[in-house]
Amino acid sequence: MLTELKRFYLNQVGCQVWLEQADCVIFRNGNLLFGFCERNEVDMQGLITFFYDTKQEVDRIYETFKTIDVSPPATNDKYHIYYFFAHDPEGRKLEFQYFNHSIDKYLSGDELLLSRRSIRDFKQTDISESILNQVLDNSRFAPTARNSQSYYFKIIRNRELLNRLSGLRGKSSSPIGRAPLAVAICSDPELSTRHIQDGCIAAYHFMLAAYFFGLGTCWIAAMDREDVKSMLGVPEHHYVTTITPLGYPMHLPVSAPSRKELGWFVKE
């Protein structure tokens, strides 16, 4: 039933065709790849699980299955999930779930780039040293002019200091005070004549790495100030690219902000 399966996974589950050749189709959902080929017998083994970032997304998927005899989503306290089961046209068991706790991200490159959002409200959940170190370890591969590696990261944990920084620019800097910690991305002009560009690239590298591990960030601009450097112990001649709050998002934006068409960004 390859034609019906293709229609089902594209239209009801929201997958994409990753590869189609001969009598086989491979689908993609996030970074999950799974395929079917036409054969004389149906393989009924296994359970296909789709997991989502919010309960609302599970509810949205459930709406597409309401005409099928499935139980509504429920919470499983043992596994800390919100889920429901369904079946595809050939009877395979499907599970749609949301993890009701923080988990490491498993994002493909395009999903990482397309789904990162600025986060301004955070849970007061501690970030483990293991996760923070992995984010920083990935961030150190940001490119720099002539491989000068002129940037560095300052971790800010002191609550009094976070509150002082959050009040410097009113509403614009207030997210710093709502996060469990913040990170200043700085650069040293003695190591590179392109230290500003180096710092900007490193900052966005850090934001992508943070999101990959389920953490939210927000670019707080105009923090290259004498009072900020004095608070952080940053040399006066160094450049403070941004100070981003860092924490697990209180809420995840579901839809992407509006974007102009591709043609507007590309100039001949």
Determine whether domain 109-246 maps to CATH 3.40.109.10.
Answer: yes
User: Cα Rg for the chain, rounded, in angstroms?
Assistant: 23
Quick one: pLDDT at residue 51? Answer: 85
Backbone CA torsion sign across 93, 97, 102, 108: positive
- On whether the pTM is more than 0.85, the answer is no
Choice between 5 and 42, residue whose per-residue pLDDT is larger: 5
Domains 2-99 and 109-246 share a fold: no
Cα–Cα distance between 168 and 251 in angstroms, integer? 25
Q: Are the C-beta atoms of 4 and 89 separated by less than 8 Å?
A: yes
- Per domain, the residue ranges of the chain are 2-99, 109-246
Q: Hey, what CATH topology would domain 2-99 get?
A: 2,3-Dihydroxybiphenyl 1,2-Dioxygenase; domain 1 (3.10.180)
pLDDT tier, 54 (very low <50, low <70, confident <90, very high otherwise): confident
Q: In angstroms, how far is the first alpha carbon of the chain from the final one? A: 47
Q: Are the C-beta atoms of 28 and 20 separated by less than 8 Å?
A: no
Q: Are the C-beta atoms of 71 and 80 separated by less than 8 Å?
A: no
Quick one: pLDDT at residue 104? Answer: 67
pLDDT digits (tens, 9 = 90+) for 64-86: 888 777 889 999 998 889 999 99
At residue 109, φ and ψ (nearest 5 deg) are: -60, -45
pLDDT digits (tens, 9 = 90+) for 178-194: 999 999 999 999 999 99
For the chain, percent of residues with pLDDT exceeding 90: 67
Mean pLDDT, the chain, rounded, equals 92
Quick one: pLDDT at residue 108? Answer: 81
pLDDT tier, 163 (very low <50, low <70, confident <90, very high otherwise): very high
- What number of other Cβ atoms are within 10 A of residue 84's Cβ? 18
pLDDT above 70 for 254: no
Quick one: pLDDT at residue 43? Answer: 77
At residue 54, φ and ψ (nearest 5 deg) are: -140, 155
Q: Are the C-beta atoms of 169 and 160 separated by less than 8 Å?
A: no
Q: Are the C-beta atoms of 39 and 25 separated by less than 8 Å?
A: no
- Three-class secondary structure assignment of the chain: CHHHHHHHHHHHHCCEEEEEECCEEEEEECCEEEEEECCCCCCCCCEEEEEECCHHHHHHHHHCCCCCCCCCCEEECCCCEEEEEEECCCCCEEEEEEECCCCCCCCCHHHHHHHCCECCCECCCCCCHHHHHHHHHHHCCCCCHHHCCCEEEEEECCHHHHHHHHCCCHHHCHHHHHCCEEEEEEECCCCCCCHHHHHHHHHHHHHHHHHHCCCEECCCCCCCCHHHHHHHCCCCCCEEEEEEEEECECCCCCCCCCCCCHHHHCCC
